[in-house]
Amino acid sequence: MLLPILLLSAAGFTVLTTEFVIVGLLPAIARDLEVSIPQAGLLVTLFAFTVAAFGPFLTAYFARFERRKLFISVLIMFGLANTLAAFAPNIWVMAIARLIPALGLPVFWALASETAVDIVGPDYAGRAIAKIGFGIVCATVFGIPVGTLISDAFGWRSAFGILAVIAFAKALLLFIYLPKTNLHQHQVSFRSQFKILRSPLMLGHVLLSILVFSGMFTAYTYLADILERLAGFNGTVVGWCLMGFGAVGLIGNSLGGRAVDRHPLMASMMFCTFMIAGMVALVPNIHSPLGLAAAMGIWGVTQAALFLVSHVRLMKAAPEAPAFAASLNIAGANLGIGLGAMVGGRVIDSVGLGGLGFAAAAFILVSILLAMALMTMKPREICA
pLDDT above 80 (res 378):
no
* Cα 236 from Cα 384, distance rounded (Å): 54
> Using CB atoms within 10 A of its CB, is residue 211 exposed (0-12), middle (13-18) or buried (19+)?
buried
- Do 171 and 203 share a structural domain? no
CATH classification at residue 283: 1.20.1250.20
> Residues 308-331, buried b or exposed e (16+ Cβ, 10 A)?
bbbbbbbbbbbebbbbbbbbbbbb
Q: How many domains does the chain have?
A: 2
How confident is the model over 75-121, as pLDDT tens digits?
999 999 999 999 999 999 999 999 999 999 988 887 887 777 777 66
* Cα 66 from Cα 174, distance rounded (Å): 13
Q: With contact defined as beta carbons under 8 Å apart, do 16 and 139 qualify?
A: yes
Give residue 114's pLDDT.
75
3-class SS shares of the chain: helix, strand, coil, % to 5: 85, 0, 15
Average pLDDT over residues 120-145: 70
- Do 199 and 315 share a structural domain? yes
Final residue before a domain boundary, out of 178, 211, 235: 178
* Cα 3 from Cα 185, distance rounded (Å): 22
How confident is the model over 18-72, as pLDDT tens digits?
987 886 677 788 889 998 766 777 787 788 889 888 988 888 788 778 888 999 9
Find the radius of gyration of the CA atoms of the chain: 20
Where are any strands of DSSP class E within 24-176?
none
How confident is the model over 251-283, as pLDDT tens digits?
888 888 888 888 899 999 999 999 999 999 999
Residue 183 lies in a domain: no
Q: With contact defined as beta carbons under 8 Å apart, do 377 and 200 qualify?
A: yes
One-letter amino acid for residue 277 of the chain? A
- Do 28 and 61 share a structural domain? yes
Q: With contact defined as beta carbons under 8 Å apart, do 74 and 65 qualify?
A: no
pTM higher than 0.85 for the full model? no
- Do 245 and 96 share a structural domain? no
Three-class DSSP category at 45: helix
* Cα 312 from Cα 256, distance rounded (Å): 10
- Do 203 and 150 share a structural domain? no
Residue 382 lies in a domain: no
- Do 269 and 209 share a structural domain? yes
Residue 188 lies in a domain: no
> Using CB atoms within 10 A of its CB, is residue 257 exposed (0-12), middle (13-18) or buried (19+)?
buried
Q: With contact defined as beta carbons under 8 Å apart, do 135 and 13 qualify?
A: yes
- Do 161 and 42 share a structural domain? yes
SS (H, E, C) 72-88: HHHHHHHHHHHHHHHCC
Element (H, E) at 144: helix 144-154
Residue 107 lies in a domain: yes
- Do 217 and 168 share a structural domain? no
* Cα 226 from Cα 11, distance rounded (Å): 32
* Cα 256 from Cα 307, distance rounded (Å): 9
Give residue 191's pLDDT.
65
Final residue before a domain boundary, out of 146, 178, 210: 178
Length of the chain: 384
- Do 106 and 13 share a structural domain? yes
Residue 187 lies in a domain: no
pLDDT above 60 (res 384):
no
Residue 383 lies in a domain: no
Residue 84 lies in a domain: yes
Q: Which contacts (CB < 8 Å, 24+ apart) does range 121-125 have?
A: 122/316, 122/319, 123/261, 124/261, 125/260, 125/261, 125/312, 125/315, 125/316
* Cα 72 from Cα 68, distance rounded (Å): 6
- Do 331 and 200 share a structural domain? yes
- Do 208 and 171 share a structural domain? no
Give residue 121's pLDDT.
66
* Cα 166 from Cα 17, distance rounded (Å): 11
Residue 10 lies in a domain: yes
- Do 267 and 143 share a structural domain? no
DSSP state at residue 180: P
Mean pLDDT estimate for the chain: 84
Domain span holding position 358: 195-376
